[in-house]
Structure 1
Amino acid sequence: MAQQLASGRHGLSRDEVATNQKQRLFKALGEVMGTKGYSNTTVDDLIKHAGVSRATFYQHFDSKLDCFMAGYAGMQGYVIAAIFEIPATGTPMERFASMLHRYLGFLALDPPRARLYLLEVYAAGPDAMRRRMELQQEFVDGVAKIFKARSKADRFACQALVASISMLVTTALVDADPEAVLALEKPVLKFAERALGSCAM
């Protein structure tokens, strides 16, 4: 975790200082918004928790929404990169099972932070929702690649699969319950086998 820098000389470059400041603000997002929610969190809450000045905040972000979406995009990008680091061998279903296991495991490690980005995004407004849909499309593209979806029907099945995972995970995270998240693995795999049929072999 990023620590607040000591005042005076610390031997870090300007870029390293900026990176540290952003990391602290993203940490503040998770801890403050995770408790108070998006709507009830202010920029003042974030800068106080992160230990940065208001001027520093606005050097990095245009608004609370800008900060939230940068944090969301960073987390989503990290998750997508991690879950698609799956074995190149095996059947599509085996590779999807590996991906799903990683995804659910990642969310279960930190349910409050996952809840922040999967539920509070609805409170952040239409721009945030559009960005969420764009990022979810990356998930669809990855699943379609695993199953080698070529037809419109197969592509639609991948979209439906990802949409169902998103809805089920969001529901499980309402109470920030890691066990409820992990319990989705078996039923989602059964649904994927039915939805994708021969592509899953």
Structure 2
Amino acid sequence: MVERLASGRHQLSREEVAAHQRQRLFKALAAVMTTNGYSNTTVDDVIKEAKVSRATFYQHFESKQDLFMAGYARMQRHVIDAIRTVPTTGTPMQNFAVMLDRYLGFIALDPSTARLYLLEVYAAGPEAMRRRVELQQEFVAGVAQIFGARNDADRFACQALVAAISTLVINTLTGGDADAVVALRTPILEYTERVMGSAPSPHA
């Protein structure tokens, strides 16, 4: 159950209260949709789980879709920030390993929420799918930079690699096992070494 603020006086500012309410709504959405799926979840379900009023919900979000997209944007920012801060001083494989560790680690921190935004996105409509494509292309761009992709064939190899990683993660998340997500690291790195090991260094 989502934790609510204690009744009565507290020291939080209006902005802090609003942020807390939004966080409760995000957590409630994840909890309800993990059980019901996107299509079968209603605003009433989320309100009940979050223990907020209908008026509070609509102060923050216009609809279930709006709440879902806001939550997806939060996850997207975290993943992209991790991808963009990969070091560039190691070998391509070393740098890719750092990126992969950060991505898998983020997913493993909260597999149920990650599952929500990686699987239920397919039911959330065209805008959600567009955002998913944007996120995947950010990942592709990061991989392309690491391996020094120089032509269409190089970039296609990066895109195929990211698509494979995405599929493996999504399939693993169906079991909701964080350890299984982290365990993907070794086989993905071994596969990447075979596929991308001959890629030119970006510093060459």
TM-score w.r.t. the length of structure 1 is 0.89
* Ranges in structure 1 where 5+ consecutive residues have no aligned partner: none
Give the whole-Å Cα distance in 2 for the aligned partners of 1:187 and 1:74. 29
Q: Deviations over 1:42-81 (max 9, x none)?
A: 1111111112211221121111011011111101211232
* Aligned residues of 1:33 and 1:41 also touching (Cα < 8 A): yes
Does structure 2 retain, via aligned residues, the 8 Å contact 1:38–1:124?
yes
How many pairs were matched up? 200
Task: Report the AA paired with residue 39 of structure 1.
Answer: S
Contact 1:28 1:46 in 2 (8 A): yes
Greater mean alpha carbon deviation, residues 148-157 or residues 66-75: 148-157
Match in the other structure for 2:107: 107
Aligned partner of 1:177 in structure 2 is 177
Q: Does the alignment pair 1:144 with 2:147?
A: no
- 2:118 aligned partner: 118
Separation in 2, partners of 1:101, 1:16:
32
Structure 2 stretches of 5 or more lacking a match?
A: none
Please give the residue correspondences for 1:12-23 in structure 2 after superposition, counting only pairs within 5 Å.
Answer: 12-23=12-23
Q: What letter matches 1:169 in structure 2? A: V
Deviation at 1:121, TM superposition (A): 1.1
Partner of 1:199, secondary structure, is: coil
Deviation at 1:162, TM superposition (A): 0.8
Which region of structure 1 is more displaced relative to structure 2, 95-104 or 4-13? 4-13
Q: CA deviation at 1:168?
A: 1.0
Deviation at 1:31, TM superposition (A): 1.6
Give me the CA root mean square deviation.
2.0
Residues in 1 aligned to 2:20 and 2:108: alpha-carbon distance in whole angstroms: 26
Q: Please say if residues 91 and 200 of structure 1, whose CA atoms lie closer than 8 Å, have aligned partners that are also in contact.
A: no
Q: Which amino acid in 1 is paired with 2:78?
A: Y
User: Do structure 1's residue 36 and structure 2's residue 36 form an aligned pair?
Assistant: yes
User: Residues 2-151 of structure 1 correspond to what in structure 2 (within 5 A)?
Assistant: 3-151=3-151
